[in-house]
Structure 1
Amino acid sequence: MPMNRIIKGLNEFHNNYFNSHREMFEQLSHGQAPEILFITCSDSRIDPNLLTQTQPGELFIIRNVGNIIPAFGTLNCGEGAGIEYAVYALGIKNIIICGHSHCGAMKGLLQVGSLAEEMPLVYDWLKHHAEATRRLVLDNYKDYKGEKLLRLTIEQNILTQIENLETYPLIRARLHSGQLNLHAWFYEIEAGEILAYNASQGEFIPLEKGLFPVPDPLAAMRSS
């Protein structure tokens, strides 16, 4: 896409959308109050606001390669800072981790050794923060191949990142008090459909059948 198309789009935004929504933007200039943190991949095919049909100010968004959340305590973790700000400063009530079909990061994870020379930064990112997903898949699903293996890896990575979120003390505290819900979503690009992880069934199913927040495992243990 040529840059002159970007400039044209900026002008159209200002002259049309912005002018017709000027009051909304004036209100947003005084602060934000989103209730949802949406964590997803940097992939250009993913547009959280388009998917959810939300307006500016309604989603707090964190994006990176592979929708990965480094575990609590990781040094220089911009994702951790974003999570802390969203939950503590903005009072976020729901966090969604949304992976997607045909994820290039997960394709790379399945052959991570080949990335070391060509894309060393991508290699380091995946090796350090997605190794748990890779090991889980390789050790437990040896019979899976091709697209079936990739799909499984993407799904397992979403759940691994939910577990990483739960390592943050602030997240644990808000989950325990019922002030926060976590959601694991899978976006199927070719179908335009969101699937949500249903813990009681142990699988991702169409979101239209319910919200399916991921249960707090420690809370379940305490109540048993």
Structure 2
Amino acid sequence: MKPADDPEAMGYFKEQARTYAARAAAHGVDLDQFAGTHAPHALFIACADARLVPAWITGSRPGELLELRTHGGTVSRYQPENPSRDAVTIEFAVDRLNVSDIIVCGHSHCEVVNAAVCPETDGRAGDGAQSTGPAGAGAQKPSDITTGDLTAAGHLHVARQLDVLSDYPCIALRMADHRLRLHAWFHELETGATLQYRPAANAFLPL
């Protein structure tokens, strides 16, 4: 793995940025359409971990997936008097963009969840989860998880975010009349498999 300050990595990023328009055209993407409306199909909430790439996982094209990346993939609780930045994004996706689906996707080897379960493994990530909360005021902290099984802890953390989202009035209203669906996913970095929470089985199972 290249070090973070590797100049070759930055050079590659710049070259990809320079050729973006040509690559988009080669894949049949008409960039002119993005000067108009913004109408993504879904909101994808995930950890900011660079190893998790929503567009790769979903195969989405530009304009199809609205991404919200937070520390640990954590969602702030609904607080109308003091909304967090991620809460504003969620309400924008639901009220203004009218997304039909919200996906909360956790992943294996999440440093935030792991540090919350085993603080001795990474004090820095653990401190972040223990103090102000990963996603701002009112956040559901990974440190609330008590299980020592890291995979189970990751699954539980993702499922809890759906409970938090369900408390948003805009989400509850649209779920009540079947205009919005919530999904809890868990991506295994080491295998590439993605699991989805199935309420009937009370378990994460393959998509």
User: What range is the shorter-chain TM-score in?
Assistant: 0.7 to 0.9
Q: Does 1:37 align with 2:43?
A: yes
* Distance across 1 between alignment mates of 2:79 and 2:62: 31
Query: Is residue 100–residue 187 contact of structure 1 (8 Å, CA) maintained in 2?
Result: yes
CA distance in 2, matches of 1:204, 1:106: 17
Further displaced range: 74-83 or 191-200: 74-83
Q: What TM-score do you get using the length of structure 2 for normalisation?
A: 0.85
Asked if structure 2 preserves the Cα contact closer than 8 Å seen for 1:162 and 1:184, the reply is yes
For the residue of structure 2 that corresponds to 1:32, the secondary structure is coil
Partner of 1:124: 132
Given the alignment of the two structures, is residue 25 of structure 1 paired with residue 35 of structure 2, yes or no? Answer: no
Residue aligning to 1:217: none
Structure 2 match to 1:175: 175
CA distance in 2, matches of 1:58, 1:68: 22
Q: Does 1:73 align with 2:83?
A: no
CA contact (8 A) 2:107 2:154 kept: yes
Matched letter for residue 178 of structure 2: G
Please list, as runs of the form range in 1=range in 2, the aligned pairs for 1:64-103 lying within 5 A after superposition.
64-73=70-79, 75-103=82-110
State the Cα distance separating 1:163 from its structure 2 match. Answer: 0.4
Q: Distance in 2 between matches of 1:121 and 1:156?
A: 19
Please give the secondary structure, in 2, of the residue aligned with 1:66: helix
1:130 Cα offset (Å): 3.4
Aligned length: 196
- Is the 2:48–2:69 Cα contact (8 Å) retained in structure 1? yes
Amino acid across the alignment from 1:66:
G
Deviation per residue, 1:186-222 (Å, 9 max, x gap): 0011111110000000000000xxxxxxxxxxxxxxx
TM-score with structure 1 setting the length: 0.79
Is contact 1:134-1:153 (8 Å) kept?
no
Q: Is the 8 A contact 2:184 2:197 kept in 1?
A: yes
Instruction: Flag the structure with higher helix content.
Output: 1
Provide structure 2 residue ranges, at least 5 long, that are not aligned to the other structure. Answer: 1-5
Q: Secondary structure at the match of 1:129?
A: coil
Given the superposition, is the C-alpha separation of residues 120 and 103 from structure 1 closer, same or farther in structure 2, using an over 3 Å criterion?
Answer: closer
Between stretches 76-85 and 18-27, larger displacement belongs to: 18-27
> Take 2:117 and 2:204, find their aligned partners in 1: how far apart are those partners?
21
Matched, 1:62 2:72: no
Q: How far apart, in 1, do the equivalents of 2:167 and 2:62 lie?
A: 30
Q: CA offsets per residue over residues 83-129 of structure 1, 9 Å max, x none?
A: 11111111111100000010011012124599778885554224962
Q: Which residue in the other structure is 1:10 paired with?
A: 17
Counterparts of 1:22 and 1:203, CA distance in 2: 39
CA contact (8 A) 1:96 1:183 kept: yes
